[in-house]
Structure 1
Amino acid sequence: MKVVYDHQIFSSQCYGGISRYFFELAKGLAEVVGDDGSVNVNSPFFVNNYLSGAPSSFGVLGKHMPAFRGVERFCRASNTVLSPLLMRALRPDIVHETYYSSRPSAPRSSRTVITVYDMIHELFPQSFSEKDKTCAVKRQAVQRADHVICISEHTRQDLVRLLNVPVEKTSVVHLGFSLTTSVIEDVQEPVRPYLLYVGMRDGYKNFEKLLRAYACQPWLKENFDLIAFGGGRFSASECAMIERLGVVAKVHQHGGGDQVLASHYRQAAVFVYPSLYEGFGIPPLEAMSYGCPVVCSNTSSIPEVVGTAARMFDPDSTESLANALVEVLQSPEACQELRRLGLARVNEFSWSRCVRETHAIYQRVLS
Structure 2
Amino acid sequence: MKVLYDHQAFTGMTYGGVTRYFYELMQAYANRDDIDFELSLQFSNNEYLDKASFSSHRRYGLSHWRNVSRLASAVNRLYSNQRVRIGDYSVFHPTYYHNYFLRNLGNRPLVVTFHDATSERYGKQYPDVGEHLSAAKKIQLARADKIIAVSEFSKQEILRFFPVDEQKIEVIHLGTAFSRQRAHVPVVPGAHPYLLYVGKRGLYKNFDGFFQAIQPVLRQHSDLHLICAGGGVFTNSEKEMIQSSGFDRRVHYRSITDLSLYELYHQAEAFVFPSLNEGFGIPVLEAFSAGCPAILSNRSSLPEVGADAAVYFDPEQADSIASSVDKVLTDSLLRQNMRQKGAQRLTHFSWEKTAAKTQALYKQLS
Superposed pair shares fold, TM > 0.5: yes
Deviation at 1:82, TM superposition (A): 2.9
Matched residue, 1:65: 59
1:307/1:95 CA distance change after superposition, 3 Å? same
Q: Which whole-Å CA distance do the structure 1 matches of 2:94 and 2:174 have between them?
A: 17
1:107 equivalent in alignment to 2:105: yes
Residue identity in the other structure for 1:87: V
- 8 Å contact from structure 2 (residues 175, 285) kept in 1: no
Deviation at 1:305, TM superposition (A): 0.6
Q: Which whole-Å CA distance do the structure 2 matches of 1:7 and 1:49 have between them?
A: 14
**Which shows bigger deviation, 325-334 or 129-138?**
129-138
SS in 1 for 2:227: strand
Deviation at 1:161, TM superposition (A): 0.6
**Which shows bigger deviation, 255-264 or 102-111?**
102-111
1:320 equivalent in alignment to 2:320: yes
SS in 2 for 1:149: strand
Matched residue, 1:117: 115
- 1:1-367 → structure 2 map (5 Å cutoff): 1-32=1-32, 34=33, 36-55=34-53, 60=55, 63-68=57-62, 69=65, 70-104=67-101, 107-125=105-123, 126-129=125-128, 133-180=132-179, 181-182=181-182, 184=184, 189-217=189-217, 220-366=220-366
- 8 Å contact from structure 1 (residues 93, 109) kept in 2: no
1:190/1:220 CA distance change after superposition, 3 Å? farther
- 8 Å contact from structure 2 (residues 182, 290) kept in 1: no
1:173-213: CA deviations, max 9, x gaps? 11111234146566964322111111111121111222122
Deviation at 1:300, TM superposition (A): 0.3
1:142-180: CA deviations, max 9, x gaps? 222222111111011011111122211211111111234
- 8 Å contact from structure 2 (residues 229, 255) kept in 1: yes
- 8 Å contact from structure 1 (residues 205, 274) kept in 2: yes
1:221/1:103 CA distance change after superposition, 3 Å? same
Deviation at 1:12, TM superposition (A): 2.4
- 8 Å contact from structure 2 (residues 94, 112) kept in 1: yes
- 8 Å contact from structure 1 (residues 174, 354) kept in 2: yes
SS in 2 for 1:11: helix
Q: Which whole-Å CA distance do the structure 1 matches of 2:303 and 2:12 have between them?
A: 31
SS in 1 for 2:101: coil
1:108-162: CA deviations, max 9, x gaps? 1411111111111111122234986222222222222222111111011011111
- 8 Å contact from structure 2 (residues 44, 60) kept in 1: no
SS in 2 for 1:280: coil
Q: Which whole-Å CA distance do the structure 1 matches of 2:276 and 2:91 have between them?
A: 35
Q: Which whole-Å CA distance do the structure 2 matches of 1:130 and 1:284 have between them?
A: 22
Q: Which whole-Å CA distance do the structure 1 matches of 2:71 and 2:47 have between them?
A: 17
**Which shows bigger deviation, 173-182 or 100-109?**
100-109
**Which shows bigger deviation, 93-102 or 219-228?**
219-228
- 8 Å contact from structure 2 (residues 119, 129) kept in 1: no
**Which shows bigger deviation, 105-114 or 197-206?**
105-114
Deviation at 1:340, TM superposition (A): 0.6
**Which shows bigger deviation, 10-19 or 192-201?**
10-19
1:300/1:131 CA distance change after superposition, 3 Å? closer
Under a length normalisation based on structure 2, what TM-score does the superposition of the two structures give?
0.90
1:200-248: CA deviations, max 9, x gaps? 1112111122212221236644241111112222222222222333322
Residue identity in the other structure for 1:108: G
Q: Which whole-Å CA distance do the structure 2 matches of 1:53 and 1:217 have between them?
A: 40
Residue identity in the other structure for 1:170: I
Q: Which whole-Å CA distance do the structure 2 matches of 1:51 and 1:171 have between them?
A: 27
Residue identity in the other structure for 2:121: L
Q: Which whole-Å CA distance do the structure 1 matches of 2:186 and 2:352 have between them?
A: 30
- 8 Å contact from structure 2 (residues 4, 37) kept in 1: yes
Residue identity in the other structure for 2:256: G
- 8 Å contact from structure 1 (residues 91, 110) kept in 2: no
Structure 1 residue runs of 5 or longer lacking an equivalent are none
What is the percent sequence identity of the aligned residues? 36
Q: Which whole-Å CA distance do the structure 1 matches of 2:264 and 2:6 have between them?
A: 35
Structure 2 residue runs of 5 or longer lacking an equivalent are none
Residue identity in the other structure for 1:167: E
SS in 2 for 1:344: helix
SS in 2 for 1:64: coil
